[in-house]
Amino acid sequence: MEDHMKNKDRLAKEWEALCAYEVDPCSTTAAMLPQNGSKNRYSDVLPFDHSRVILNDLANPNRSDYINASTITDHDPRSPVYIVTQGPLPSTVADFWQMVWEQGSVIIVMLTRLLENGVGSSARYWPEEGSALHSNFEVHLVSEHIWCDDYLVRSFFLKNIKTNETRTVTQFHYLSWPENGVPPNPRSLLEFRR
């Protein structure tokens, strides 16, 4: 409210941006291409073409620009603030790290366990210790801090082996989401968010 009082034209500008924004039809053409089908964990959870994350296909070993991930915007649809994605499959871990690198992501929030009902919900995309190489990206586990039974925090160094650049990426991993439902008490999730 205070910000709106200081910037009286902000609300009008936001409204203009919303009015000018045209949503593309909610098609999932890219996700349903035969070469991309194996990259989707579930056939009914697909990114819309207008909001999907597009990888640099020239930097991708498979020459593919597809990953099952979508951008989420706040007040300006041209400036994404979040990316939502499935837990990577073993065959898409390198794509996942390419996306993290290209999008400049420094925080990963993971809300699933690696296994749910005995079925993999995500490949382990980080090393249990030391480092792991995923195509053009080397991931070093720096630390793992168990804050409580409900969540932990991991820190990684992500290195682009083509450019020798490194970045620090922090993963917040919530461990208490039930397999088929929602947390019965929001307290641990609210503490995790804080």
**What is the domain class of 67-193 according to CATH?**
alpha beta
Q: What is the per-residue pLDDT for 4?
A: 65
| Backbone torsion region of residue 11, taken as left when φ is above 0, otherwise alpha when ψ lies between -120 and 50, otherwise beta | alpha
Whether the CB-CB separation of 93 and 137 falls below 8 Å is answered with no
Q: What is the per-residue pLDDT for 178?
A: 82
Q: What is the per-residue pLDDT for 1?
A: 64
Tokens of 25: 């039809």
DSSP for the chain reads -HHHHH-TTHHHHHHHHHHH--PPP---TTTTSTTTGGG-SSTT----TTTEEE--TTTSTT---EEEEEEEESS-TTSEEEEEEPPPPGGGHHHHHHHHHHHT--EEEE-S-SEETTEESS---S-SSSEEEETTEEEEEEEEEE-SSSEEEEEEEEEETTTTEEEEEEEEEE----TTS--SSTHHHHHHH-
Tens of pLDDT along the chain (194 residues) come to: 677 677 778 778 877 777 776 655 688 999 999 999 999 999 999 999 988 999 999 988 889 999 999 998 887 767 778 999 999 999 999 999 999 999 999 999 999 889 888 888 899 999 999 999 999 999 999 999 998 889 999 999 999 999 999 999 999 999 988 877 888 888 888 988 88
Other residues' Cβ atoms within 10 Å of the Cβ of residue 69: 21
Rounded to two decimals, the pTM is 0.83
Distance from C-alpha of 60 to C-alpha of 87, rounded to nearest angstrom? 19
Domain segments of the chain as ranges: 67-193
